[in-house]
Amino acid sequence: MLELNLSEHPHRRLNPLTGEWVLVSPHRTQRPWLGQVETPPPDTTPAYDPQCYLCPGNERAGGARNPQYERTFVFTNDFAALLPDTPATAFAPHPLLQAQGERGTSRVLCFSPRHDLHLARLPVEKIQPVVELWAKQLEELGARYRWVQAFENRGAAMGASNPHPHGQVWAGNALPNEPAREDVRQRAYAEKYGAPLLVEYAQLEMARGERVVLENDAWLVVVPFWAVWPFETLLLPKRRVRRLPDLRADERAALADMLKQLLTRYDNLFETAFPYSMGWHGAPFDAAEDSHWQLHAHYYPPLLRSAAVRKFIVGYEMLAEAQRDLTAEQAAERLRRASAVHYSERGER
């Protein structure tokens, strides 16, 4: 019988965090590309934009005015997706027509007063306040809400409506679909094998090495075996940590350094401000038993072959299951080879 070659033959890979499969078609990377091509805009972003509703001192869309902040800044979204006074009652006139009121809040997190410097271009010492901001927001909101989702949409390709470096945090009483699936799968794995799924996965990837992109004393970045997006990565602590606020001071500093390295390599891959959606997953804040959880962050970037070619989730992927051509191993190798010096700074050294 012919042996399966993961770098040549079509195959499916299981995502153990969700139970979903992804179809991998490595032979398709040889086909000519006739899809959409987009020319990235020139990088002419100013350090301060008087029309930006996130810059210091400017008036926001809802009419409030930002302070002259010098590091990070947080405010409740003027058009929040979740509201704290929503009726918590149910609507269920029929088993096929069900709804439930959801209380919560949505906040905007400005990472820097500089309009033109996203995280990849900030020095490590200015990324660390962002790490502290994430941890503080999760700790504060976790005291009131079951799930707190810190995330960032970077770039217009991922729906960011403003180029100012910022993220968001949404908190609510319900456990959303993605973390709910991860909770079930991690719990089942721990009960069956006696160890947290992502702790064992990190050890496995460090031993094999083929999908490791970066690591330092406290953190590991891999292209997960089951990745869907072309250059998707998973960011994991090396010790058991359930939630972001549980990180020690040294781990927070090491995280800032790892973010600088990872995001610089993303930008250098196609010499563009690399778009992505990212977010943190940790144990729900009301969990009575959470030993099966391991903190982690997902990075989902859409670019496929260049700054002008991106992946679309359409057709077969919307109707059947996710599919990718570039293998996780190939993606990890390309990210490893990317320069650690941001392309915009090379002429300065």
CB of 252 closer than 8 Å to CB of 133: no
Catalytically annotated residue among 115, 166, 281, 296: 166
166 is catalytic: yes
CB of 137 closer than 8 Å to CB of 46: no
Cβ contacts of residue 248 below 8 Å, gap of 6+?
A: none
Query: How do 90-94 and 233-237 pair as beta strands?
Result: unpaired
Phi, psi torsion values for 334, nearest 5 degrees: -65, -40
* Distance between CA atoms of residues 330 and 327, nearest Å: 5
* Distance between CA atoms of residues 53 and 164, nearest Å: 9
- Chain length of the chain: 349
Interior/surface letters 28-41, b for 16+ CB within 10 angstroms, e for the rest: eeeeeeeeeeeebe
The full DSSP string for 14-25 is E-TTT--EEEE-
What are the tokens at 320? 């059947």
The residues that are catalytic are 166
